[in-house]
Structure 1
Amino acid sequence: MKLMNFRRSRLIKLILVGVLVIFGVTFFLPKPTGIETQYQKRKKAAPLPVFKDKVLGNFEPAVADVVDKRKPGEGGFPYHTPPKLKNNVAHSNMEYGMNVVASDHISPNRTIPDMRLQECKYWDYPTDLPTTSVVVVFHNEGLSVLMRTVHSVINRSPRQFLKEVVLVDDYSDKENLKGELETYIARNFPAGLVRLLRNEERQGLIRSRSYGAEQSVGDVVLFLDAHCEVGINWLPPLLAPIRANRYTMTVPVIDGIDKDTFEYRPVYHGGQHFRGIFEWGMLYKEIEIPEEEIKRRKHHSEPYKSPTHAGGLFAIDREYFLKLGGYDPGLLVWGGENFELSFKIWQCGGSIYWVPCSRVGHVYRGFMPYSFGKLAHKRKGPIVTVNYKRVVEVWMDEYKEHLYHRRPHYRHLDPGDLTAQKALRKRLNCKSFKWFMEQVAFDQPSKYPAVEPPDYAWGEVRNEESGLCIDTQFKGQNERFSLAPCLKDQRGRSGEQQLVLTWHKDVRPAKRSVCFDVSSSDVHAPVMLWSCHGMHGNQLWKYDTVTKHLFHPITANCLDCDAKSHEVFMSICDSDVRTQRWLFEHVNETALANW
């Protein structure tokens, strides 16, 4: 009996001790932060976006925009600057990398076309989405271009979700970006809605964005470039995935705005979805989404996963962004920050989604119209190159060797002190790059293998009839190129005549990632330069070693030229026409035989 009582009392004591331990552990566990509490409340609340076929969504405009085609640029139509202003236009292009003269004639509140999938109009989004600070960094931007960006955000965003627009002036020296800008903001926008911050010295895009995020007050920070126009109902689709999971970055689909005419047009056609990736020389690329992502979604308009993003436009929970350390403060100006943030998000437990129902137009400049200034002297080596070195050394583990194999000189560059970034990775308990490649970017090696197959042809491309060479002349995206005297025939001339018919079956300048692109099957259709996408289509070419034709399968036409005007264009293939015969300096006949 005594033994039983002893055991019973001992059992009671053990139970009491257990209760006290559980209470103590619960009491001393770290409490949720403010943002975590808000997130938990939203998550409990929480309907996801709901698709209602043929029923207009809850944030869709009830009335479509009225387009007055008499006004310059309305409806996203091109505006052609009067010939009498051609000198002003030329000066503007040199100063800004775009035609700001045309922009000055176009309303800051202009209408633009709705480029979304039809499905996008039928989504209802939660009404308790997080508030947003839109951060726009600018340096010597055209005032009308910058203000059109701001007007479009305010005009097309539900006011209950738009906390503020934060403009960060990265030490501009143009007079109209000083007092005139401040006056414009005061007169045209509600008090406090647009805030202007000014750097006291040049910091570059990356650091200025981090500063803007630190100073903003919205739940979400949404970065835009200074030359954008947002589309209809663009904001709720970006916020809804973040509301569901605050460790999510969302990226809009980007449309193009012509730098000369400000025509608004889609970059992607036919409802195809692409996602961000990279090749091992650290060039950003895009490829079609894999079958796994297509099957995962019920609707074609739903967000989908992407390994990387282009860098300019995205939304992310503000406190989560800061918890990740924002951008690496050792990255200067721009370059590599998109990879650094992408790898960091995925490897440290987050995710990136592209959002088809959010469209944002972006002006692609012909060239970068400003220098890095004093920032260039703070770095031992080219700024962008050293940025890449910092990224690969911190995040890519043994996979960095693929970059060093292609760019041997990177190995010997000084990336600066990486101690803090490596400690951040360890503190956040981030996964390996091997995990990233196997679980997230699993489709990358099929498009951009670590060991690349040989190219089909390379060197100068000489026209048999004229004896002239194709010269891309360092032209930019959406620009045409022409013939020029071959550099090997004329010493002292400059140009860009080393071309490659790559193993991707596209044609590009040897040291750049812009490709010959044909979007029309018309006779005399122009050949443009466009960012290489590796998806064939408009950029697919085949060289015939017998006829010497550069054949474009998608249009079934051949590359042709005018020997007098030096123009390059497409024509119906004819083996008797000597202007269609092209002689590559070097040809890999074995590879071409197996094309």
Structure 2
Amino acid sequence: MRIVQLKRNRFLRIITFSTFMLYILYIVVSFFSDKPINDLKEYWSDSLKAKQVPVLSKDLGNFEPKHVSIKNGPGERGKPYILRDDQQNDVQQSESEYGMNIACSDEISLDRSIPDTRMPECKQWNYPEVLPKTSVIIVFHNEGWSVLMRTVHSVINRTPPQFLEEILLVDDFSDKDNLKGDLDSYIEQWDGKVKLLRNDKREGLIRTRSRGAREAKGDVIVFLDAHCEVNVNWLPPLLAPIAVDRTVMTVPIIDGIDHKTFEYRPVYQEGHLYRGIFEWGMLYKENELPAREKKTRPYNSMPYKSPTHAGGLFAINREYFLSLGGYDDGLLIWGGENFELSFKIWQCGGSILWVPCSHVGHVYRGFMPYNFGKLAQKKKGPLITINYKRVVETWFDDKYKEFFYTREPLAQLLDHGDISEQLEFKRRKRCKSFQWYMENVAYDVFDKFPELPPNIHWGELRNVATGMCLDTMSHSPPSLMATTDCHGFGNNQLIRLNAKGQLGVGERCISADSQGVKFVFCRLGTVDGPWQYDEKTKTLLHRVHKKCMALHPQTQQLSLMPCDINNTYQQWSFHQIHPQW
């Protein structure tokens, strides 16, 4: 009897202990989950379902279209469409108004066909039949009607309906008549699948996207620009990695749509994969996928890690996005939000994957056709640089902040606002350092953009004889430099000389040869240069040619001449700039 009693007691202790441990497990999981867990069994069941992964087959993939009809007509199959000579006035007017040829777009079907630009292997993937429901969010401001509607039509036509919760159009205070009542009436054909939200004042892209995320109903949100065309089977490849891990952000491969002819074409060379990086002035760049990443993937068509993204197009779990605080509300209008979100995701435990089997076409405007009105009056100085500084001050370590201020010295004078909430978020989430990010994620940035030596001098570079400033004349490289009146705002007259002899303007460099002094592309992967400045004689020596930068007294042309320390046309002085923004 005593033995039976002991066994019974031991069994009760085991049951009690197991129950206690399950309760502790429930508390831990609930703590780290942004979604309340009401049923543990249901939670684990859903988790196991979500772990289904894509499988490569020998046959056509499960979401691939079985029959593709060949269409003919303007712009079909992504072919360029050229308007007649008697329509060129309409072309010029629409390009001036929209930054793209809307007159051309208006003659192309909203349901036009485009070429399948994916690698052939992409057609053989079977994706899970159960994937998260998705809200596609499209922010627009005074967008051309046909371009905006073609974006919507392409999503409706090329998305498995069981995964599309809604298309959410968010109007950032447009004032064009056809984007008011006409738009409300037009979207009624989709019986509520396409919804429309309107801002009651101009908020800018960043804040309007945040509103869309808050009001969306889908488990996953996909942001698209208002001038896109999604390609064949574009959504399942974006959703599959998120279904496995909710902290993954997925990014489609972006194809180009010509803003004049609406030709649809790949941006990248066939067989080459690229990923997003940046240079120290926070300009977005791309680099070919490093061998270190290629080795982790058994198939070339599988997703791969990327340090950042271009910004406009991506998919992310909605609750995860909101748990990150979404976009930083202190960022104004647009610019830098792609970096802010990328750094936040990687440094705080998430990851970013580019997805080769998801392609989306994007119209790159000829220029930005509208201004930002009262939004631009809230800050003094260039808004995008203010945004960049805010991101840098939040996410960079001190060492890397110095690289940014070396590349953008005037940013030191800008007010980036209060970032105490962002810094508290980093502390609370125990986010990793930027050093960790550079060593483990963005290690290939250094291949093209090494650590920057400090500036010895920066500012306007004035010729002593004339008082005129060295200027790029707003030309694109390679081009000849010149001198002109000093304007005091920096930009094309902001010259930097670093400790290794590189003379720079923005991300470009200043060089010289027998033809003259030139504005050129810097050699990738280098930070040195041929220039040496003598503060006593005020001469700029080109150490390779052993001659000095000189301004011709009559022609006003710049060239290299035998050094003459007494010639004021060869004397130059740096003057730091303090713009009156």
Which category describes the TM-score, using the shorter chain as reference length? 0.7 to 0.9
Aligned: 1:50 with 2:81: no
**Structure 2: how far apart are the matches of 1:533 and 1:169?**
43
2:216 maps to amino acid: S
* 1:45-100 residue CA offsets vs partner (Å, 9 max, x unmatched): 233111113x10000000123131xx111110011111112112111111110000
The question of whether the paired residues in 2 share the 8 Å contact of 1:247 and 1:320 is answered with yes
* Residue number in structure 2 paired with 1:334: 334
* Residue number in structure 1 paired with 2:429: 428
The residue correspondences of 1:542-561 to structure 2 (distance < 5 A) are none
Displacement of 1:270:
2.1
Taking a change above 3 Å as real, the CA distance of residues 533 and 173 of structure 1, as seen in their structure-2 partners, is farther
Taking a change above 3 Å as real, the CA distance of residues 58 and 20 of structure 1, as seen in their structure-2 partners, is closer
**Structure 2: how far apart are the matches of 1:16 and 1:42?**
26
* 1:349-395 residue CA offsets vs partner (Å, 9 max, x unmatched): 00000001101110011111111111111223321111111101111
2:297 maps to amino acid: R
**Structure 2: how far apart are the matches of 1:586 and 1:302?**
53
Query: SS at the partner of 1:250?
Result: strand
The residue correspondences of 1:376-525 to structure 2 (distance < 5 A) are 376-398=376-398, 399-451=400-452, 510-511=505-506
**Structure 2: how far apart are the matches of 1:402 and 1:20?**
55
Taking a change above 3 Å as real, the CA distance of residues 14 and 294 of structure 1, as seen in their structure-2 partners, is closer
Q: Residue 107 of structure 2: which of 105, 108, 111 is its match?
A: 105
Structure 1 unaligned blocks of 5 or more: 1-9, 455-470, 476-480, 501-508, 515-530, 536-544, 547-582, 588-595
Displacement of 1:450:
1.3
The residue correspondences of 1:359-374 to structure 2 (distance < 5 A) are 359-374=359-374
Displacement of 1:449:
0.5
* 1:256-281 residue CA offsets vs partner (Å, 9 max, x unmatched): 00000000011101210000001111
Displacement of 1:20:
8.4
Taking a change above 3 Å as real, the CA distance of residues 513 and 338 of structure 1, as seen in their structure-2 partners, is farther
* Residue number in structure 1 paired with 2:192: 192
* Residue number in structure 1 paired with 2:318: 318
**Structure 1: how far apart are the matches of 2:218 and 2:337?**
22
CA RMSD of aligned residues (A): 3.7
* 1:379-438 residue CA offsets vs partner (Å, 9 max, x unmatched): 233211111111011111221111012212212321111111111111222111111011
* Residue number in structure 1 paired with 2:499: none
**Structure 1: how far apart are the matches of 2:128 and 2:524?**
38
The residue correspondences of 1:128-277 to structure 2 (distance < 5 A) are 128-186=130-188, 189-277=189-277
**Structure 1: how far apart are the matches of 2:173 and 2:453?**
43
The question of whether the paired residues in 2 share the 8 Å contact of 1:39 and 1:246 is answered with no
* Residue number in structure 1 paired with 2:79: 77
1:48 maps to amino acid: V
Q: Residue 98 of structure 2: which of 96, 99, 103 is its match?
A: 96
Displacement of 1:27:
6.7
The question of whether the paired residues in 1 share the 8 Å contact of 2:407 and 2:506 is answered with no
1:294 maps to amino acid: K
* 1:191-217 residue CA offsets vs partner (Å, 9 max, x unmatched): 111000000000000000010011000
Displacement of 1:451:
2.3
* Residue number in structure 1 paired with 2:6: none
The question of whether the paired residues in 2 share the 8 Å contact of 1:286 and 1:533 is answered with no
**Structure 2: how far apart are the matches of 1:91 and 1:482?**
31
Displacement of 1:473:
6.1
The question of whether the paired residues in 2 share the 8 Å contact of 1:170 and 1:202 is answered with yes
Query: SS at the partner of 2:65?
Result: coil
Taking a change above 3 Å as real, the CA distance of residues 273 and 472 of structure 1, as seen in their structure-2 partners, is farther
Taking a change above 3 Å as real, the CA distance of residues 176 and 35 of structure 1, as seen in their structure-2 partners, is farther
Q: TM-score, normalization: structure 2?
A: 0.76
Q: Percent identity?
A: 55
**Structure 2: how far apart are the matches of 1:24 and 1:159?**
39
2:102 maps to amino acid: V
The question of whether the paired residues in 1 share the 8 Å contact of 2:482 and 2:558 is answered with no
* Residue number in structure 1 paired with 2:458: none
2:330 maps to amino acid: G
1:147 maps to amino acid: M
Displacement of 1:16:
10
Displacement of 1:491:
13
Taking a change above 3 Å as real, the CA distance of residues 14 and 34 of structure 1, as seen in their structure-2 partners, is closer
**Structure 2: how far apart are the matches of 1:342 and 1:533?**
27
**Structure 2: how far apart are the matches of 1:207 and 1:450?**
33
Taking a change above 3 Å as real, the CA distance of residues 72 and 411 of structure 1, as seen in their structure-2 partners, is same
The question of whether the paired residues in 1 share the 8 Å contact of 2:264 and 2:361 is answered with yes
Structure 2 unaligned blocks of 5 or more: 1-8, 456-471, 496-503, 510-520, 526-543, 546-556, 562-581
Displacement of 1:11:
11
Taking a change above 3 Å as real, the CA distance of residues 511 and 190 of structure 1, as seen in their structure-2 partners, is same
Taking a change above 3 Å as real, the CA distance of residues 482 and 438 of structure 1, as seen in their structure-2 partners, is closer
* 1:527-577 residue CA offsets vs partner (Å, 9 max, x unmatched): xxxx99969xxxxxxxxx99xxxxxxxxxxxxxxxxxxxxxxxxxxxxxxx
**Structure 2: how far apart are the matches of 1:345 and 1:95?**
37
* Residue number in structure 2 paired with 1:524: none
Query: SS at the partner of 1:201?
Result: coil
2:407 maps to amino acid: R
**Structure 2: how far apart are the matches of 1:300 and 1:472?**
45
* 1:443-491 residue CA offsets vs partner (Å, 9 max, x unmatched): 111211112799xxxxxxxxxxxxxxxx99668xxxxx9999x966999
**Structure 1: how far apart are the matches of 2:479 and 2:35?**
63
1:278 maps to amino acid: F
* Residue number in structure 1 paired with 2:129: 127
Query: SS at the partner of 1:281?
Result: coil
2:63 maps to amino acid: F
1:272 maps to amino acid: H
Taking a change above 3 Å as real, the CA distance of residues 183 and 20 of structure 1, as seen in their structure-2 partners, is closer
My pick for the range that moved more, 380-389 or 206-215, is 380-389
1:50 maps to amino acid: V
Query: SS at the partner of 2:447?
Result: helix
Query: SS at the partner of 2:253?
Result: strand
